[in-house]
Chain A
């Protein structure tokens, strides 16, 4: 089911964007894309446009806010920053991510013993 697959990806991307903003402070879409690229070490190839879809979703949920400002090279850009609700959500998501990934990790290890 391709639909479910994309949903997982969406959720993951949202979490990554949120974490990026948490770690680096206010950042524009381009900066977020660069950061994800850098962290993932090119293991994750994504259409950078999808970052904006993630940003819109997060903004609509009230987890980030945005304002216009000037970028490093004096270009007008929209800067996103994490809100208080966003912090809470991030903590929650991070925890459940850890839990799921540890469960899945354990599960996969079990499988390989057979």
Chain B
């Protein structure tokens, strides 16, 4: 049996030659036979006929041999495919409905998978990415991850024996003034062997040398994009000097095209060494840099972490003040760190879209069932004419396959379209790493094909089973009757399943929408309307602290003079920008040397609170007189006051922030002069955390971000503001120009993205479910027309008939909802982990979803019910 199959399979591929050989063999036979007759004295022409007679039908034999020699199923499959295409073509309405439904399901799942694959699953585009480990300190007071100071990093790098290389990196911004206009570009400050760590060869030139970490060197590797756009792809760029941050830097290399590190940052335009950070490299207290390492072969992350912990413990002794709280370390896979927060939501989205696909499958299965019911007679006749049951099933499968093929082509189109159109809806700067790289590659297409195949199997199963177990003779005797009953039960259960799955998706969408509304509606603590913000690239080399303060004063004064500008101020970090400076402090009346409290900090100019729209609740704002010559002051938010001075008046209390020992300033007691409202620093946090604000003139680290409170729509101010800036310093670029509303929207980009997805899925699910229910009911009404006609003839009123159909619908809905509630409760629990402002286990979501489903179902059932009620009894009885 197997031998025969193999032989046939092999022969299938040399069919042509075998045919020719066979012809030759048979011709030879016929000739010999004819010669024999001639030898017996027959006329040659006569002999040929006699030979053919004795041989039997030559052509029939050739055909029989050909069929048996190779695999006939291939031929037959071709035939099935032709039949299927013809069948689908004749039923265009059915084909279109089924293909579009499936294409939606397949396309949506492909698109979601493409995102998941790019962001979470795909290995990092570096050499042996599974040995790349992110390395951080853990602050035991948090406990949260914290950056590493340069001196500590150097010690970790020198003392560990578990990493082949350990590299530090820090996001920064650089102002390029080699030609005008000056631009501000994101860049990375790294230790020398970043490129070797990643196994990346520069496109041009070389990467950094160990001695280029020393302060005073200025070397830079350009990104491919910057090299192309700003330097015209000049291959002689290596060795040239370019002006970066007011210094003359030597270009040592150009990164290869598409190189991006770190992957969770905006596209970096250049890389430079830690020489750029100057004296910061000597301060153990300045936790500024992140780290990534390549494990030595055979070293596990656990072993690596154990050794790093040991080094961390030893570092406490080196500098207890700075290192006491950060002895613990964390070594985790870089890939995992990148996927981090988005992994769970994206998997949930893939699950959701799979439910949509299931619902779509149920719809198509229902359509197919209707179709095969309509074809029961056709099948019976074919069966009676000798088609085997297997042949009938095979034809159904062929149709399903063709349908699947059509749908997956549509699905690929749909997913390409949605990636192009829906993804941008999430916002330009959505903070999901690697999302810009989402595309339909081979992996994604393979996934699409797999989904399509599974789908085809799922939706074609029902009709195939039906044919397998239908008694042909019965079907012939009575057009619908007996088969229809079983078929109807199957169709109803498909709808019940759809309702259950639809309920689950509805609850999911409700939950995320509620969560998003909560995020949108809750008070961010500042007024995002009529607010314009932008950054300025001021060269450190050309402005010392005094110069910077003078510049800031002049700039804010001129900005305030622009018509339409009410207040101009500066500060950083702004609300919703996250925690950037967590700094410990001592409270004068209760010093706690062993565990100083920590709070976030921001540095702001006078007018900052009114520009941002943060209310001053008690005390006063900073003034221009709060400078280094005056008493040191600070303003705290309400959360700070109630956390650290519960039940007391915080005004007049004095604290000593630890930040002052960075740079030239010494630590000093600061008096709290004002209490302001809680502006949210972490956009998604449940409540505002404590923060204290220092006056810009007493701690001038950076010019900060400019805020303008405007009387007109803020975009209208941009040209005038740009003119003011250029008038003061034409080498200072303006960057990240955003309105307050844009900032607020950006802060919730990820939840919004997820909500859009989930709502889309739930919407599709609801429509498909309603369509499915409508289809089944319409079909039932059509089938029961006779019965309904008789009932009406016997005196059943319109209401009774309406109720009949409605009852039918509600039976399915109720069973579906009962089944769906368990799943919905599970999904709610799952989604609570990625949503905000939701009371755990709140039953309102399930209740609303049930009501929605019932309402939609009633609407869907109403039309067939009306049709039933308007059945003309005379008409139907006449048809009897």
A interface with B by C-beta (< 8 Å): 28-30, 33, 47-50, 52-53, 56-57, 59-62, 71, 73, 75-78
Contact = CB atoms under 8 A, between A and B. Distances in A.
Interface stretch (B28-36, B136-144, B742-750): B28-36
A58 to B, nearest CB: 11
Given A29-B29, A53-B61, 8 more contacts: A29-B25, A47-B56, A48-B33, A56-B65, A56-B68, A73-B35, A76-B28, A78-B21
B79 to A, nearest CB: 23
A9 to B, nearest CB: 13
B55 A47 contact: yes
Contacts of B324: none
B874 to A, nearest CB: 53
Interface stretch (B3-11, B230-238, B291-299): B3-11
B33 A61 contact: no
Interface in B48-82: 54-58, 60-61, 64-65, 68-69
A30 B32 contact: yes
B68 A48 contact: no
B58 A49 contact: yes
Contacts of A29: 25, 29
Interface residues of B, number: 26
A49 B3 contact: no
A78 B21 CA distance: 9
Given A30-B33, A53-B64, A75 B7 contact: no
Given A52-B61, A61-B3, A77 B56 contact: no
B446 interface: no
B56 A60 contact: no
Given A47-B55, A47-B56, A52 B26 contact: yes
5 contacts: A52-B22, A53-B61, A56-B69, A59-B7, A78-B25
A60 B2 CA distance: 10
Residue in B7, B31, B55, B57 with the greatest tally of chain A CB atoms within 10 Å? B55
B44 to A, nearest CB: 16
A48 B54 contact: yes
B24 interface: yes
User: Interface of chain B, helix or strand or loop or mixed?
Assistant: helix
Given A52-B61, A76-B28, A78-B25, A62 B3 contact: yes
Contacts of B65: 52-53, 56
Contacts of B8: 60
B28 A30 contact: yes
B29 A60 contact: no
B663 to A, nearest CB: 90
Contacts of A60: 3-4, 7-8, 68
Given A75-B31, A78-B21, A61 B56 contact: no
Contacts of A76: 24, 28
Contacts of B69: 56
B25 A77 contact: yes
Contacts of B32: 30, 71, 73, 75
Contacts of A52: 22, 25-26, 61, 65
Contact of A49 (B31, B35, B56, B68): B56
Query: What 10 A-B pairs come out closest when comparing CB atoms?
Result: A47-B56, A49-B61, A49-B56, A60-B4, A30-B29, A60-B7, A30-B32, A48-B55, A49-B55, A78-B25
A46 to B, nearest CB: 8
Contacts of B7: 59-60
A53 B56 CA distance: 12
Contacts of A48: 29, 33, 54-56
Given A49-B57, A49-B58, A71 B3 contact: no
B54 to A, nearest CB: 6
Contacts of A28: 25, 28-29
Contacts of B57: 47, 49
B63 to A, nearest CB: 11
A109 B347 CA distance: 80
A7 to B, nearest CB: 15
Contacts of B56: 47-50
Nearest to B22: A52
A103 B28 CA distance: 42
